[in-house]
Structure formats: C-alpha cells, structure tokens
Chains A and B, each alone.
Chain A
Amino acid sequence: MPHLSDLPHRHPFRFVFGEVEEDRIEVLLTPAGPWARGGAFPQFFALEILGQATALLMASRAPAEAEALRQPGYLAGVTDLVLHRQIGTEERFQVRAELERAFGALVKVRASLSSGTTLVAEAQLLLAVGGIG
C-alpha cells in the first residue's frame, strides 16, 4: 500500500493529506501556504490535486507484478477538465479515480474531485511512469 511519503511533493505543493481508503483518498486544503493569501486558491491547482491523488490511488491498486505503477512519474497530459465550482481553502475533498487503460509506462485515468456528494472537478489524466519515449 503506497504511503503519502511516496509522493515527492512537499509543502506548499503537497495537497494530499489523507490515506487511501477503498476507492478514494482524502484531500485537505488549508489556509497555510502562499495560495491562500487573500482567500483565493488558484483554481487550476484542482488539476494538481487530481494528479497527486490519482497517482497514489493507482499505485494502491497495482498488482504486485506491476511494479512500474509504483515508480515515480508525472502528469503527462489532461483532457476534459471541468471545474464545476470554485475551490476554496479549508475544504475537505475526496478523489476517486477509474483506470481506463495502462499501456507500457502510461496510464490513462478518469478522476473526480468531490466535496461530500457534490462533484467539484473532473478530468481525464494521462500519467507517465518513469521516462517516456
């Protein structure tokens, strides 16, 4: 099971603070950090939140032999990003991710960011594990 420390990101660019539970992971935004000055959170960071959380979710589901999915990687692409409402600070979210396809070192995932039962953002993410050619 991946641990939060598996993410290379650190404050103030680490947005995932919960552990993987079943099919979701908790994300908590706090007023700490430069983003919350003036009370506004850069909305495009919803994408980074999805990316970090999805990476941990996918690593938690990888079978033992798919060691590649546990290697460091990065967000290589995004399509169909929709922000349904503004994200504020001091909010708690849940991220869910569904694997669409893995091929070689690439993983395509549909991820969603929710606050309780409210869908806040969603996107189709392309994660690259290791190097790509």
Chain B
Amino acid sequence: METMIKAQNIKKSYKMGKTRLDVLRGVNLTIEKGRFVAVVGASGSGKSTLLHILGALDRPNSGSVFYQKQDLAGLRWGKLNHFRNKEVGFVFQFYHLLDELTVLENVMAPAMASTSSLGWFSLRSKTRKKAHQLLDRFGLKERLCHKPYELSGGERQRVAIARALINEPPLLLADEPTGNLDSRTGHGILEALKELHGEGQTIIMVTHDERIASQASRVIRLIDGKVQE
C-alpha cells in the first residue's frame, strides 16, 4: 500500500523548570493511505505531541516526518501553511471552533484561509454548497447560523469534523475526538469517522480509550515515548 506519512526516530522533549521531560524517545511509524489508525497511550504518554508533529503544528527535536515522501522539516512558511490547509484536517478534543463565526463560517474557514479576498467571490458559492453538504451529512443543517457556544459538545465536534473536511484533505488527524463527550455522543462521532474511513479517508486518531481504539483498523500503542504495536 502507498505510504501516506512516515515518522523516523522522532524525539521530543519539554523543559519543565530545570528538568527535561522526554516525551517522545525515538518514534518510528509508517501509515499507509486509506488506513484508520488509533494511537493509544496513557495520559502524558506523548500521543497528542506525536499527532501535532505529524500535522506540522509542532516540530520534533530530532528525527523526520515524511508526508508522501516530502520531509516536513524542509517546508518553508508558505508551504507549511499549504500543508496545514490542504493536506491535513485537524479535529481537536476541545473542538477549537471560532466563537465569532457561525457554524457555516467555521466550516468554510479553511477554504477562506487559502483564498484571497478577490478570489473568494468566485469560490464562495461553491464552498458554501460544500459546507452545506457536509453539515447536512453530520445532521447540522438546522444549525448553520448558530454560534459554536449555542451548540452541544457533540454538535461542536461534528462541526469541527466538517471543518477539517472542507478542503478534502488526504489525511484527517483527530486528537481525542470523543474525549470531551459522553459515551453516546462519542459513539456517534466514532461512527462518523468510521464512515469517512469507509469512503477511503486516511485517519489518525489519538485516544486513551482502548474500546474506541479497537474500532480502528490499526492500533499503535505509545509506551514510554516509543511505539509498540
């Protein structure tokens, strides 16, 4: 199978006062296109850190991440923004929606980010249509003009997934997507991710819940900063 993303000997540490905390101690990982991978580990094991590094939101102290054979460390600002905008979609535990924007605008935000003010006028209707479709798919078509703080946790997370998918990124990164939800709502989110995977979407999901991880096609365990499968 074609490799989507590959991590080679990733090391990451944080300074906590005078002490150094080694979070990742040489992570090696290869994820193929079309896989639904769950990264499992105890709290503080470095799962989220690994996900952030894979999504170029953070940089490792050493090691390399190759996305479709391209070293992410070599990307300059413009290409890095393009990577975050077009190649990956993030779903966070705490949703991270923009409170000033409506549900529809939140979903369209990544498309707006990659378009100039003038270019937006030609793309607006197309993007709006796509955002409508996504929100309709996730059962939010009645919530288009609501603000994020007017929604339930499950609804917010579905908006976040729709936002992550608006630019049709090849890779979806989900950081504890059900971690802040009750089990029933979390189940709904998981079903949505599974459905996306069924359509060929590559997904890397971080979770501490073994039951949720078991729903993925592959489970990677992060123990003491290293990968064990």
Tell me whether A and B are bound partners: no
A-binding residues in B (CB < 8 A): none
